[in-house]
Amino acid sequence: MNDGATSRKATCPQCGRQFTYDSANEPSWHPFCRRRCQWIDLGQWFSGEHRISKDLLADDEHED
Ligand SMILES: [Zn+2]
19 in a domain, yes or no?
A: yes
Q: Which domain holds residue 47?
A: 7-56
Distance 53 CA to ligand 1 centre (A): 23
12 in a domain, yes or no?
A: yes
33 in a domain, yes or no?
A: yes
64 in a domain, yes or no?
A: no
DSSP labels, 22-64: EGGG--TTTTSSSHHHHHHHHHHHHTTSSTHHHHHTTTS----
Distance between CA 47 and CA 64 in Å, rounded? 14
Distance between CA 19 and CA 38 in Å, rounded? 14
Distance 5 CA to ligand 1 centre (A): 22
Task: Indicate whether this model's pTM tops 0.75.
Answer: no
Q: Partners of 20 in the beta sheet?
A: 9
Distance 51 CA to ligand 1 centre (A): 22
62 in a domain, yes or no?
A: no
Q: What is the pLDDT along the chain (64 residues), one digit of tens a residue?
A: 556 678 999 999 999 999 999 989 999 999 999 999 999 988 887 777 555 555 555 555 556 6
Q: How far is CA 48 from the centre of its chain?
A: 16
Distance 11 CA to ligand 1 centre (A): 8
46 in a domain, yes or no?
A: yes
Q: What is the CATH number of the domain that holds 20?
A: 3.30.50.10
21 in a domain, yes or no?
A: yes
